[in-house]
Structure 1
Amino acid sequence: MRLSTRAKYISYIAVLHLVLIILVANLLSENKPLFIASEVFLLLSAAASIQLYRNFMQPIQFVKSGIEAIKDKDFSIKFVPTGKGEIDTLIEVYNLMIDQLREERTRLHEQHFFLEKLIEASPISIVILDYDEKIDSLNHKAQEQFGAVAEQLHGKALNETNLPLLHELVDMQDGDSRVVKTNGVVTFKVQRSHFMDKGFKRSFLMIEELTNELLVSEKNAYGKVIRMMAHEVNNTLGATDSILQTTRNILTDPGFTELKEALGVASERNGRLTRFMRNFADVVRLPTPNRATADLSLLVRDVSTFMQAAASERQVSIQLFLPEAPIVKSVDTGQMEHVLVNVIKNAMEACAPGNVIGIHLTQSLLLIKNNGTPIEQEVNASLFNPFFSTKKDGQGIGLTLTREILVNHNFGFSLKTEEYGWTVFRIEMEE
């Protein structure tokens, strides 16, 4: 068993004075005055040793108390000078250190509080990861963005969630920045960075939705181009067609029959080009929805009846799954009818004979499904881009108008082929 320095010192002083007492008793027992003087000296020596011991132990006790206070993170304890030089120097250093630690802790707490408030008030979604790259916390904006599943994300890696957006970010490294589209329409700018926590690196993601800004900027850009094209083309075609018709009327001689037919073909071509430009102009001139209360069940049934003849020609079946009770929503009936016609028409064009189009309607969802040709992965992100089309002679007008109508109605939407093989156009009608 190892003795402490304190025990060794006490043992040494005790043994030393015991030996001295025995020697004095043996050597000076007959010389009373010297014996008494020696005993008094030994007594004073013992008292001096005790005082020296206390003086040595006082700094140790002081250091011990200071260490305990620091361990308990109590930076309010300070020591009063004792009047002893060495100890007062130590007390001065300790008190200065405590003041600095207290100020530093206060500063860190204030910074931490400020950063917490800043993160919570941020208009950008922030996802903070822990040391193992698992989701540790979400700010208020991120909780709003991920909705009901936000609480289920804690403790999961990005690839363990069921959110397509987070799956797209798995391979991002600190310092990376990218633009991500989740359903062909909703666009996010994502940046990944890191901070140091307790000496270790922790990453975080900043997710900013750009959808509305991009849609407005996009529409302003293509709207200006379309208006300029329509103005030039319509002015030219109007004058040209007038000349063609006048010339045809003048050419009454039978010898000019072939020329008259050629002029007629040119006039028809002008008409098709006019209609072509009118389709583009419709995207720009799309009015604000004139909303009124309508039964969506009835609207879906009417449109499916209208499209039934075209579906029968393709040997495609349209199946309705409608609730018994009316689904009443505030919509622009004409514009929503255009959406349904366009989506069902696209579904039919993707189907082969024997395929099925299923239309499912609930209080908050409208799903138009088909088991025809699936959408290729590289095409999916571009589906709702203005005037994008996979058809040979397609103008890309249908989905562009559909997008504008649904955005103006504040309805969420997506179009993709699900894992089970059906392609689903999903319209979310939460108000």
Structure 2
Amino acid sequence: MKLKNKYIIFVVTVHLICLVLSFLIFEQHKLLFILSEVLIILSVLLSINLYRQFIQPLAYLKEGINAIQDRDFSVRFLPTGRGEMDELIQVYNQMMDALREERTKQQEQHFFLEKLIETSPTGIVILDFDQQVKQINPKAAAIMDTHAEEFLTQMASLKIGEAKTWRMDGLKSYKVQKSNFIDRGFARVFVMIEEVTAEIFEAEKNAYGKVIRMMAHEVNNTVGPVNSILSLALGTDELWISGNKTSLKNAIQVAVDRNQNLNLFMRNFADLVKLTPVKKLPVDLVPLVQTVSDFMQIKARQQAIVFEFDLPHQPFLIRADAQQMEQVLINIVKNAMEAIGSMGTIKFSLDAIAQILTITDSGEGIPTALKEQLFSPFFSTKKDGQGIGLILVREILLHHGFEFSLKTIQPGHTEFMIKLN
């Protein structure tokens, strides 16, 4: 039973009892009876007034509770002029003001956080309580566009607080870091994905550049004087007049030739760190591809490799350094021929609308275990490879601002793709 109903029953019961008792007691004294009835009526009026004073705060409290349940923190009560009631109203109004300010503050922080996540240059993936992707910002969506499963596998393998650097397709490198935050008393996981390709490439270049310069310096300081001495000896006829010294002379000549090969070997490495600045000029890519294929045609015939072309008939101009781009194409074709070995095809495709050049070979493809090491300094799958071909390609294309990728689509179908815009 509600409190107001109990109060009404109590007041009615008491006044009925008083009415009956006054009638029985003052039955013979009408004046006293009338006076008692007047007092009872006054008591009833007073009770009604007290009832209203008691019920009004309860009504205010009910309205206040409904406002809180509806999350309407703009409801305020006006003072009534009664001390106790006004104290209650003041406390309620202060509480609503504090709740409204807190909610406004939280909404502003939430909006700021959402905006920060959306515009962050770092990819952010937020998981729900079941470790499923709940929210993903545009940067993370772009990164995971073509490698979602691989990224999800990497994220699942990480523990809270761990970070891992992962190289995708041997080219782009990403730092994946897992952490958590508290949501309604429970831990929720989020993952940050940051591309660190440029930083890693710069660090690699600084490292191998220093090593190459040191090696070139030492080799040149040694090979130059030694070759001078050996050549002087070979050119001094008096040393070879007496006796049969043909074998010694041949041995010295072999040493000179090996020194020359060592010089060439070091020059290849030195070229990697001495790339001339890119001189971008309008270049028609179609005849450039044809020139490279003609240059490699003899070697291709020896290996029974056929060149195929899907090129536009009209000129396709790009802004590039013709010599450096020619060097890129020669290295790509050379690697494709080595991957094929013998009897295969290399196809040149140029999409003029998408501005993409694709060189496809029918070789064995890139082993899964090695694809992350592509474009790494000095890495080569060939027995006598120096591991600088793809590095040189990487540096030239990066200096041109061209995006590129190398991947095996399926057995017998490996693509080197260059975006020319």
Write the deviation string for residues 339-362 of structure 1: whole angstroms up to 9, x where unpaired: 111111111111144332222211
SS at match of 2:166: strand
SS at match of 1:169: helix
Q: Give me the whole-angstrom Cα distance separating, in 2, the residues matched to 1:119 and 1:319.
A: 47
Matches within 5 A, 1:203-282: 203-250=189-236, 251-253=239-241, 254-282=243-271
Q: After the TM superposition, which of the residue ranges 370-379 and 26-35 deviates more from structure 2?
A: 26-35
Q: Give me the whole-angstrom Cα distance separating, in 1, the residues matched to 2:156 and 2:294.
A: 46
- For the aligned residue pairs, the C-alpha RMSD in angstroms reads 2.7
Write the deviation string for residues 201-256 of structure 1: whole angstroms up to 9, x where unpaired: 33322222211222222212211221121122112111101111111222232521
Q: After the TM superposition, which of the residue ranges 126-135 and 190-199 deviates more from structure 2?
A: 126-135
Q: Give me the whole-angstrom Cα distance separating, in 1, the residues matched to 2:191 and 2:380.
A: 34
Write the deviation string for residues 356-408 of structure 1: whole angstroms up to 9, x where unpaired: 22222112212222232121112111110111111111101211111111111
Distance 1:264 1:176, change over 3 A: same
Tell me how far 1:271 sits from its aligned partner. Answer: 0.7
Q: 1:371 is matched with which residue?
A: 362
Distance 1:116 1:62, change over 3 A: same
Q: Give me the whole-angstrom Cα distance separating, in 2, the residues matched to 1:140 and 1:345.
A: 38
Q: Give me the whole-angstrom Cα distance separating, in 2, the residues matched to 1:161 and 1:381.
A: 14
SS at match of 1:418: strand
Answer yes or no: is the 8 Å Cα contact 2:380–2:386 preserved in 1: yes
Q: Give me the whole-angstrom Cα distance separating, in 2, the residues matched to 1:248 and 1:308.
A: 39
Q: 1:115 is matched with which residue?
A: 113
Matched residue count: 416
Runs of at least 5 residues in structure 2 that lack an aligned partner in the other structure = none
List, as ranges, runs of 4+ consecutive aligned residues in structure 1 with deviation greater than 6 Å.
none
Distance 1:77 1:84, change over 3 A: same
| 1:337 pairs with one of 297, 320, 326 | 326
Q: 1:154 is matched with which residue?
A: none
Q: Give me the whole-angstrom Cα distance separating, in 1, the residues matched to 2:139 and 2:288.
A: 36
SS at match of 2:373: coil
Matches within 5 A, 1:18-417: 18=16, 20-22=18-20, 24-25=22-23, 28-120=26-118, 122-139=120-137, 141-142=139-140, 145-146=142-143, 162=148, 164-250=150-236, 251-253=239-241, 254-363=243-352, 364-417=355-408
Answer yes or no: is the 8 Å Cα contact 1:128–1:205 preserved in 2: yes
Answer yes or no: is the 8 Å Cα contact 2:360–2:416 preserved in 1: yes
Distance 1:300 1:165, change over 3 A: farther
Distance 1:265 1:352, change over 3 A: closer
Q: Give me the whole-angstrom Cα distance separating, in 2, the residues matched to 1:181 and 1:414.
A: 12
Q: Give me the whole-angstrom Cα distance separating, in 2, the residues matched to 1:344 and 1:163.
A: 31
Tell me how far 1:82 sits from its aligned partner. Answer: 4.1
Q: 1:153 is matched with which residue?
A: none
Q: 2:415 is matched with which residue?
A: 424
Q: Give me the whole-angstrom Cα distance separating, in 2, the residues matched to 1:132 and 1:298.
A: 56
Tell me how far 1:22 sits from its aligned partner. Answer: 5.0
* AA at the equivalent of 1:258: S
TM-score (norm. length: structure 1): 0.87
Q: Give me the whole-angstrom Cα distance separating, in 2, the residues matched to 1:328 and 1:375.
A: 31
Tell me how far 1:95 sits from its aligned partner. Answer: 3.1
Q: 1:152 is matched with which residue?
A: none
Answer yes or no: is the 8 Å Cα contact 1:415–1:426 preserved in 2: yes
Q: Give me the whole-angstrom Cα distance separating, in 1, the residues matched to 2:410 and 2:130.
A: 30
Q: Give me the whole-angstrom Cα distance separating, in 2, the residues matched to 1:146 and 1:376.
A: 23
* AA at the equivalent of 1:401: L
Answer yes or no: is the 8 Å Cα contact 2:300–2:306 preserved in 1: yes
Q: After the TM superposition, which of the residue ranges 124-133 and 327-336 deviates more from structure 2?
A: 124-133
Q: Give me the whole-angstrom Cα distance separating, in 2, the residues matched to 1:162 and 1:205.
A: 13
Distance 1:179 1:142, change over 3 A: same
Q: Give me the whole-angstrom Cα distance separating, in 1, the residues matched to 2:96 and 2:310.
A: 73
Q: Give me the whole-angstrom Cα distance separating, in 2, the residues matched to 1:223 and 1:273.
A: 18
Write the deviation string for residues 79-108 of structure 1: whole angstroms up to 9, x where unpaired: 444454543443343233223323323432
Q: After the TM superposition, which of the residue ranges 375-384 and 290-299 deviates more from structure 2?
A: 290-299
Q: Give me the whole-angstrom Cα distance separating, in 1, the residues matched to 2:251 and 2:388.
A: 30
Runs of at least 5 residues in structure 1 that lack an aligned partner in the other structure = 150-159
SS at match of 1:184: coil
Answer yes or no: is the 8 Å Cα contact 2:180–2:189 preserved in 1: yes
SS at match of 2:406: strand
Q: Give me the whole-angstrom Cα distance separating, in 2, the residues matched to 1:12 and 1:29.
A: 25
* AA at the equivalent of 1:400: I
Write the deviation string for residues 113-144 of structure 1: whole angstroms up to 9, x where unpaired: 4434544554433333444444444446556x
* AA at the equivalent of 1:192: K
Q: Give me the whole-angstrom Cα distance separating, in 2, the residues matched to 1:382 and 1:217.
A: 16
